[in-house]
Structure 1
Amino acid sequence: MSQERKILIYGASGYTGKLVAECLARRGLPFYMSGRTLSRLEAALDVVKKRHHGPVDVELVAASNNVEELKPLFEKVDVVINVAGPFMQVAWPIVEACLQARCHYLDTTGEQDWTRAIQAEYGQAFADKNLLLSPACSYMWAAGALTAEVVLETNGIDSLELVYQIDNALPSEASTKSFLRMQGNADSQFFLQQNEYAAWPNDRSYDVVVPHRMNPYRALPWGGACEPVWFKTDPRVRNCKVLTAFGDDIVDNVTKIIQDFNERAKGLTQQQREDLTNEIGESMAVGEPEPDTPDTGRSMVVCYGQGPQGNTTFCLSLTTPYCFTGEICAEAAERILNGQLKKSGFQSAAVAFGHRELLEVFHELGYSNSPA
């Protein structure tokens, strides 16, 4: 593999950007850290160096998120990892610049409407250029896609129900804003029902059961997830639902916040609703959390599969979801540079690189169990 600088992280000064940078540094991959403010990038790099305890082959580049400024920068690289959100609000120029510069696009979104929008707007264009367009290259919602692909190895399975259960969850400010803008819109978080999108109510929680745990959990659609989008055009799947259990206290609090939001948002335009969810997200922020650790940051991602003649279940035990997000971005970028991309266009990481291959890597790295 060439040691040219062929990877760029955009929005690299944030929480997730630093985690991605650490993972690239551990792999010895040279990269760019880019964003709008050089001083913030410099501060972020200081954090990465302290955590990494070794050399970091990186170049910092300040650039605003407009196509004219980004395209010359993106033409230097093969892979852009976008971690700047809320994505539906700010990420359009980044995707367009990737297409024009002919580089692969990865992001860490949790926003279902963003995923659907770029599939419709850019999926075919990226496929025509043999480029990967892979949003949600992150714990949410790549872990569920990996789990679902294991379940779909069983012939006849056509319906999927997924549960994300997370211990000691502490979402970052950016994640909170992204999630709230989805949860705050009554018709923007969907599940798949008989091959069609159906909307979840935005102010209701649900009880879910997680294997190996003694009590049920309350859960939310958490924006609808991206698995229904991945499988909307997959002939194997007719139905797909995803719920997330962040802990009953968090779920109960968010449900109350959304109920209050519904009252405050009556009569507002879409832009005013977006501004309000940003305001609420900022009020909920508790500062940038420390990277999660295996002792506390544990998760179970469960996929229940049903079909006309049977059913099956796969449980993915996973540690440190945020660190896993950095790792899957780094793994994806490295595989692209190594010529290991299996399928271009709009794809989940599980399909783009092979779910068995990725699960084996993450098991070896200590993040997850290995499927039977």
Structure 2
Amino acid sequence: MSAARKVLIYGASGYTGKLIAESLARRNIPFFMAGRTRARLEAALAVVEERHGQAVDAEIVTADNTVEALLPLFADVDVVINVAGPFMQIGWPVVEACLEAGCHYLDTTGEQDWTAAIGEKFGPAFAAKGLLLCPANSFMWAAGALAAEVVLENPEVDSLDICYQIDNGLPSEASTKSFLRMVCNDVSQYYLEQNEYKAWPNDVAYQVAMPYRNAMLSAHPWGGACEPVWFKNDPRVRNCKVLTAVGEHMIGPVIQAIKAFNAAAPGMNQEQREAFTNAMGDQMDSGEPPKDSVDVQRGVIVCLGQGRQVTTSYVMNLSAAYTWTGEICAEAAQRLLDGQLKNNGFQSSAKAFGHRELIQRFHELGYCSALPA
């Protein structure tokens, strides 16, 4: 392996993996594209090079998804970006191999239970080694964490109410399966109330009033989000709720799928439940979506803050959610390589690298609105 190649994307052949590869290439960061199937990785690299408009400094490597197989790949890199999900089903060996090899770990999960589980099991061990453990380094749920940190600059705020709104959402196959296993789980999807987790009902949509929109929109807990996990043990925060208005074209079918799951699930064990949601994901999958666009897949994150005597809010435009996920993964990798990590261990990207620094950077790149004056 090249001594100059210090970043590895695991699961690089998928939709998001290709976007991360593009973002790394734009930053002139050499990287490995890793996965189980060389042919798929070669096809993915061809797509990346076509989009990039020239050859990309990437090397393809393959390995089975076991700690033993992954360790030789991770031994000479500093940063691993895991894009292989559903994470709660197949992500454990990647985290374990990162810890053993001494690598920073990033992933693009949207799975609340995965984020909480690896934080509890591995957070202290990563911190002890000075390493970053940063799941959900993606639009969901890093964007809300960035907005929340702006609101929490007011020290009187102790409660957060966050809503993501996305126009023309285009879920990938991996995202569809990850979110179906979350939204169909009737004992998770948590919000934070008085420092304790409380479960949302899984089959209810909520009407939300978004700024700059005249019509009410339907929203769903969409897995519960990771902001309640980031703030569970944060002394600044007592309450945190997150809803997602992902689009009427998706909320209706998802609610129907949840109701079908609820009818079929009694008597199933967890393995059977997850096989059921994977099968539903296969049925709903319409193939790999086209690359998203800042002019089509526009997003807004609204964070409302409240304390005993204050209310405040922050509205952040952040468009092209998947492309931005590639950008924040590449940005995090670059900052790790450059020694710009602010907090190690189990951290959101906002805490790992600084929320103002990241918002400013992505505003300069054309993805999000500017910070308030």
Q: Could you say which TM-score interval applies, normalised by the shorter chain?
A: over 0.9
> Distance between the aligned counterparts of 2:319 and 2:256, measured in 1?
29
Report the Cα distance in structure 2 between the residues aligned to 1:302 and 1:294, rounded to whole angstroms: 18
Percentage of matched positions with identical amino acids: 63
Q: State whether structure 2 residue 173 is matched by structure 1 residue 173.
A: yes
Q: How does 1:64-103 map to 2 (within 5 A)?
A: 64-103=64-103
What code does the residue aligned with 1:254 have?
Answer: V
Could you list the runs of 5+ residues in structure 2 that have no partner in the other structure?
Answer: none
Say whether the 8 Å CA contact 2:22–2:52 is kept in structure 1.
yes
- Corresponding residue for residue 253 of structure 1: 253
CA distance in 2 between counterparts of 1:325 and 1:259 reads 30
2 CA distance for matches of 1:105 and 1:350? 15
Q: Which amino acid aligns with 1:333?
A: A
Per-residue deviation, residues 277-299 of structure 1 (Å, max 9, x unmatched):
00001100010011101220100
- The equivalences for 1:106-145 within 5 A come to 106-145=106-145
CA distance in structure 2 between the partners assigned to 1:371 and 1:216 by the alignment: 26
For the residue of structure 1 that corresponds to 2:133, the secondary structure is strand
Q: How does 1:244-323 map to 2 (within 5 A)?
A: 244-323=244-323
Q: Distance in 2 between matches of 1:296 and 1:249?
A: 15
| Structure 2 SS opposite 1:158 | strand
Taking the aligned partners of 1:71 and 1:17, their CA distance within structure 2 comes to 20
What is the CA-CA distance between 1:319 and the residue it aligns to? 1.3
| CA contact 1:108–1:138 (8 Å) conserved in 2 | yes
Corresponding position of 1:18: 18
Distance 1:34 1:168 in 2: 30
1:140 alignment partner AA? M
Give the total of aligned pairs: 371
The Cα of 1:65 is off from its aligned counterpart by: 1.0
- Alpha-carbon displacement from aligned partner over 1:260-281 (angstroms, at most 9, x marks no partner): 1100111111100000000001
Hey, what's the Cα distance between the residues in 2 that align with 1:178 and 1:253?
Answer: 16
- For 1:218 and 1:183, the matched residues in 2 are separated by 15
Q: For the residues of structure 1 that align with 2:195 and 2:54, how far apart are their CA atoms?
A: 49
Is the Cα contact below 8 Å between 2:205 and 2:219 reproduced in 1? Answer: yes
Shift of 1:3: 7.9
Q: TM (normalized to structure 2)? A: 0.98
For residues 94 and 257 of structure 2, what CA distance do their matches in structure 1 show? Answer: 31
Tell me the TM-score normalized by structure 1: 0.99
> How far apart are the structure 2 equivalents of 1:9 and 1:257?
32
Cα distance in 1 between the residues matched to 2:180 and 2:90? 16
Contact 1:3 1:29 in 2 (8 A): no
Shift of 1:249: 3.1
Quote the Cα distance in structure 1 between the aligned partners of 2:312 and 2:46: 47
Deviations 1:57-84, CA, capped at 9 Å, x for gaps: 0100011110001111101100000000
Matches within 5 A, 1:217-228: 217-228=217-228
Displaced runs of 4 or more, over 2 A: none
- Residue 55 of structure 2 corresponds to residue 43 of structure 1: no
Give, in whole Å, the separation in 1 of the partners of 2:275 and 2:368: 38
Alignment deviations for residues 141-184 of structure 1 (CA, whole Å, 9 cap, x no partner): 00000000000001210000000000001111100000000111
Q: CA deviation at 1:239?
A: 0.2
Which residue in 2 is equivalent to 1:336?
A: 336
Code of the residue aligned with 1:261 in structure 2: it is: F
SS in 1 for 2:153: coil
Cα gap change, 1:3/1:62 in structure 2, threshold over 3 Å: closer, same or farther? Answer: closer
Greater displacement, 327-336 / 200-209: 200-209
Which residue of the partner structure matches residue 192 of structure 1?
192
Partner-residue secondary structure (3-state), 2:84: coil
CA contact 2:146–2:355 (8 Å) conserved in 1:
yes
CA distance in 2, matches of 1:231, 1:261: 30
CA distance in 2, matches of 1:49, 1:64: 25
SS of residue matched to 2:106: strand
Aligned partner of residue 165 in structure 1, secondary structure: strand
1:209 corresponds to which letter in structure 2? A
- Measure, in 1, the Cα distance between the counterparts of 2:140 and 2:56: 27
RMSD: 0.9
SS at match of 1:281: helix
Q: Note if contact 2:3-2:76 (Cα within 8 Å) is conserved in structure 1.
A: no
**Mapped partners of 1:97, 1:155: distance in 2:** 39
How many angstroms apart in 2 are the aligned matches of 1:294 and 1:69?
39
CA distance in 2, matches of 1:249, 1:50: 31
Contact 1:24 1:30 in 2 (8 A): yes
Establish whether residue 353 from structure 1 lines up as the match of residue 353 from structure 2: yes
Counterpart contact for 1:3–1:30, Cα < 8 Å:
no
Per-residue deviation at 1:125? 0.3
